[in-house]
């Protein structure tokens, strides 16, 4: 676990990666952190995946697109002296909540102790289902342009394709974002032959 010493606040905040979804892929450290918490905060879908671990705990669930509010709430509860687990799917430092928690904690006069509990990332679960595609150099790129401008994503895709990285694409599409995956394909195909293997994985290990 990565830990940041408290600045004088009380309580403790575990930022817990619950893995790709199947209970077998929840690490012992993650289970202990959730077990130690009296409050568990998270996205409703991720909480449903760990429901057997939540008995007797105060649970605060929220919807997608409320990440900042979740992090603020978890920090506030820990600042009140509670032991809090903020759960994230996969690994909390890979397209998840760990960075946001630290950014928000920087603005607190007395932040609580924060521990990052790593988890198995989605890219690990997907790679295992496909064989062993990540044996050498690879990169992960999110196609979500909610926080990153699309021109920046385009440059990253082009650079990764030209450098011959194995590329893991996160957030390929949503109800509102439907064209980005096609644009990414066109950018990559400008540098790669049509024979390039492609693996498409959904709901890995759930």
Q: Which of 92, 120, 148 is the last residue of a domain?
A: 120
Q: Is residue 202 part of a domain?
A: no
Query: Cα(8)–Cα(117) distance, rounded to whole angstroms?
Result: 21
Is 89 inside any structural domain?
Answer: yes
- Are the CB atoms for 46 and 88 separated by under 8 Å? yes
Read out DSSP for the chain? Answer: -EEE--SS-EEEEEEEE-BSS-GGGS-HHHHHHHHH-SEEEEEHHHHHHTGGG-TTSEEEEE-TT-HHHHHHHHHHHHHEEEEEEEEESB-TTSSSSHHHHHHHHTT-SSPPEEEEE----HHHHHHHHHSSTTSS-EEEEE---SSS-HHHHHHHHHHHHHTT-EEEEES---SS--SHHHHHHHHHHTTS-TT-------STT-
Regarding whether 103 and 152 lie in a shared domain, the answer is no
Do 140 and 184 sit in the same domain of this protein?
A: yes
Residues 99-142 pLDDT 10s: 999 999 999 999 999 999 999 999 999 999 999 999 999 999 99
Q: What's the confidence (pLDDT) of residue 206?
A: 79
Co-location of 128 and 114 in the same domain: no
The answer on 110 and 16 residing in a single domain is yes
Within a domain: 85: yes
111 & 133 share domain: no
Same domain as 17, residue 84 = yes
Residue 110 is assigned to a structural domain of this protein:
yes
pLDDT tens per residue, range 14-47: 999 999 999 999 999 999 999 999 999 999 999 9
Residue 205 lies in a domain: no
CATH at residue 160: 3.30.950.10
- Domain, as residue range, for 60: 2-120
Q: Are residues 152 and 53 in the same domain?
A: no
What's the chain's average pLDDT? 94
197 inside domain: no
Same domain, 76 and 107: yes
Q: How many domains does the chain have?
A: 2
For residue 199, being part of any structural domain is answered with no
pLDDT at position 8 over 70: no
Q: Are 67 and 146 in contact (CB under 8 A)?
A: no
- Using the 3D structure, point to which of 103, 120, 137 is the last residue of a domain: 120
The residues facing 17 across adjacent strands are 88
Residue 203 domain-assigned? no
Q: What's the pLDDT score for residue 146?
A: 87
Same domain (yes/no): 185, 136: yes
Residues 134 and 113 in one domain: no
Q: What is the C-alpha R_g of the chain?
A: 18
* CATH code of 109's domain: 3.40.1010.10
Residues 114 and 129 occupy one common structural domain: no
């Amino acid at each position: 676990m990565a830990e940041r010493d408290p600045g004088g606040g009380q309580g403790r905040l575990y930022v817990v990666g619950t893995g790709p979804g199947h209970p077998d892929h929840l690490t012992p450290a993650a289970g202990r952190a959730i077990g130690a918490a009296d409050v568990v905060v998270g996205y409703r879908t991720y909480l449903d995946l760990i429901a057997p671990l939540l008995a007797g705990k105060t649970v605060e669930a929220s919807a997608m697109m409320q990440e900042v509010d979740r992090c603020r709430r978890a920090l506030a509860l820990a600042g009140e002296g509670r032991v809090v687990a903020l759960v994230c799917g996969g690994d909390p430092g890979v397209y998840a909540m760990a960075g946001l928690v630290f950014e928000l904690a920087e603005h607190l006069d007395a932040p609580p102790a924060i521990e990052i509990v790593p988890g198995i990332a989605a890219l690990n679960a997907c790679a295992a289902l496909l064989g062993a595609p990540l044996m050498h150099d690879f990169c992960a790129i999110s196609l979500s342009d909610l926080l990153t401008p699309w021109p920046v994503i385009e440059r990253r895709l082009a650079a990764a394709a030209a450098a011959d990285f194995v590329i893991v694409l996160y957030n390929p599409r949503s109800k509102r974002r439907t064209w980005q995956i096609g644009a990414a394909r066109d950018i990559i195909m400008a540098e790669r032959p049509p024979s390039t293997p492609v693996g498409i994985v959904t709901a890995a290990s759930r």
